[in-house]
Structure 1
């Protein structure tokens, strides 16, 4: 079946053995406690002050940064991550039990054989037998799957899914890989223990981007290209936040960048923070618009895809495997990637704000980074935003969405006319505007990006221009919601398809 399939089988077996060993070592009282909510000490976290309620309490240390809090049932698997460099987590299930939890010291090694050695042998021998049996079962499953077509589950809408057939013997795809490893765990990527082996399995090929956060590399994993975002040490909070969001909520969506894993690795005696995602060779929307122009239908498809991704982020899904609502806070063309089918997916969730109405919490994270000044809404620039109200953050995303739609429409050809790419407010502020530059233009003078007359000569672009203007109201509550933007653009897309079909029939 090839080297990639063999790697998948071995990794799957290793993960199974790790989980079983972890379960043998787990304290049974912790498992029982996961079913009852307990009060926990909460410290150094924004979603609570002194205490919180959850299924287990935790104490964690990341690069010397300690925090205490509570996990919901779907986050329980994170309690198993004990052996990651510079990362420690400990969980318990009694009221306020994490008050005295501390980072454990390295255990002393006892060279004398004794009862401990016997206990290890009692566990190791059955596990070795289990490993051999598991490998045999994997080989049988691989052989059986090679005799029939593979199927891959691809999410097409917020709630609907469709099955896409992949020919037998084809190279592995992201869908195949997730089918192989994904369980009903809480996160959107691979199981937590599997993620902690990723850095050793990926070969970095070429650097495809650099920024204040660090670098993005194209790597190869199991025969597929993946993107590896390597964070600089000064942006550790963004890595930690993005990892936290991806691993605790169900984010899988066509228009959200596909998450695979998060890992730490050591290079030249320094720790590197990796975020591994799907790779899109066309790069960011910002890069794409530099060298590509669009027709009106392509413009609409691209704008609709960005709005669809934002709707999925902003929506809280109430179910057993649900997700809280998330505001992006740094939406811009550099944080949106272009897929080969002409659609986009939203990336960089390091500044995300999490809100759950059902559980009544608002988590703004601890990241000191702020959003991009050029895309900041008036209420952020004049500091009138209500930071304790989740709707406020969603409304700033809508302002930025309007600017992204403006960037896309500017590169759309109408009557043979198209404009060069320019960033929003390019003709009003310097190339690297200050906070005060933007405040004067947006809040004091209340300027908005100018719209070329050609946009109004085409029905699709004139409708998109109207949507933009309704995203730019000075008063945040007056702006459209992401759902309203998506519905408007979706109806426009349907009307365009129907008009095209009618034109073909007439011809």
Structure 2
């Protein structure tokens, strides 16, 4: 039940020996457009394409977050390392969520943290992870961490959207306030102490859809985890924004 149009398809795995070295092989579907990070660095986006990328990505995240019951059910899964480099772009312009190496599962009230206590990529860590106040006994805490990171992804994607003939150059979150490879202390000061968040471009204010998207990303990266949107709520809100600007059968030009 993990198979989904917006989650990277797993085909198989193997272990081989080469020159006395053990190789661990993971086989997955191939998407030649590469990561969302690469995609955003290559080109600007139309508003339609921007929304398609985000709606499909949050659709995959919502499926991960959902526990499905029954004999063919699946546990709820928190990704714990959401970022543009862990999201791939399909030929049809949709996204798939990839790299579940740090995932946490939850089934029937039991949280399985596994043996890996790493917590993801520092640039995308929410305040409760940076200041170590996250409640690791609550699975909801991990879901809210994913939503904080997804809010940053939304900002990265929307900046590349052309409005009034203008799109911002690609930049990673907090590019203007931390080093290229920020440490925990760098991020803790900016996110927890200063409560700084990415700057919303001024020219978005002239476009109702971009204003709506800015509001949603702010709700995702709110300092208080309990205020953040769920993946399902965000998906529904983005679909409403999409419905206000184009018919459902419009095609996206890649």
Q: Provide the residue aligned with 1:251 in structure 2.
A: 2
Distance in 2, matches of 1:456 and 1:252, equals: 39
User: C-alpha displacement at 1:370, in angstroms?
Assistant: 3.1
Q: The residue matched to 2:133 in structure 1 has which SS?
A: coil
Which structure is richer in relative contact order (CA contacts within 8 A, separation 6 or more)? 2
User: C-alpha displacement at 1:361, in angstroms?
Assistant: 1.2
Which of 369, 373, 381 aligns to 2:118? It is 369
Deviations 1:332-386 (A, max 9, x none): 00000011111110000000000012xx311011024331000000000011000
Distance in 2, matches of 1:423 and 1:436, equals: 18
Q: Provide the residue aligned with 1:478 in structure 2.
A: 227
User: C-alpha displacement at 1:330, in angstroms?
Assistant: 0.3
User: C-alpha displacement at 1:416, in angstroms?
Assistant: 1.0
Q: Which runs of 5 or more residues in structure 2 are unaligned?
A: none
Please say if residues 336 and 344 of structure 1, whose CA atoms lie closer than 8 Å, have aligned partners that are also in contact. yes
Q: Which runs of 5 or more residues in structure 1 are unaligned?
A: 1-249, 502-507
Which of 309, 323, 329 aligns to 2:74? It is 323
Q: Provide the residue aligned with 1:61 in structure 2.
A: none
Q: Which has the larger radius of gyration?
A: 1
Q: Provide the residue aligned with 1:353 in structure 2.
A: 104
Sort the Cα spacing of 1:386 and 1:499 in 2 relative to 1 into closer, same or farther, 3 A. Answer: closer
- Equivalent residue pairs, number: 250
Q: Provide the residue aligned with 1:279 in structure 2.
A: 30
Q: What RMSD over aligned residues (CA atoms) do the two structures have, in Å?
A: 1.4
Which of 389, 403, 421 aligns to 2:138? It is 389
Q: Provide the residue aligned with 2:93 in structure 1.
A: 342
Distance in 1, matches of 2:216 and 2:140, equals: 19
Deviations 1:162-189 (A, max 9, x none): xxxxxxxxxxxxxxxxxxxxxxxxxxxx
Sort the Cα spacing of 1:314 and 1:499 in 2 relative to 1 into closer, same or farther, 3 A. Answer: closer
Distance in 2, matches of 1:467 and 1:451, equals: 12
Which of 154, 178, 197 aligns to 1:448? It is 197
Deviations 1:20-64 (A, max 9, x none): xxxxxxxxxxxxxxxxxxxxxxxxxxxxxxxxxxxxxxxxxxxxx
Q: Provide the residue aligned with 2:155 in structure 1.
A: 406
Would you say 1:295 and 2:46 are equivalent positions?
A: yes
User: C-alpha displacement at 1:499, in angstroms?
Assistant: 9.4
Q: Provide the residue aligned with 1:78 in structure 2.
A: none
Moved over 6 A (4+): none
Q: Provide the residue aligned with 2:185 in structure 1.
A: 436
Whichever structure has more strand as a proportion of its residues is: 1
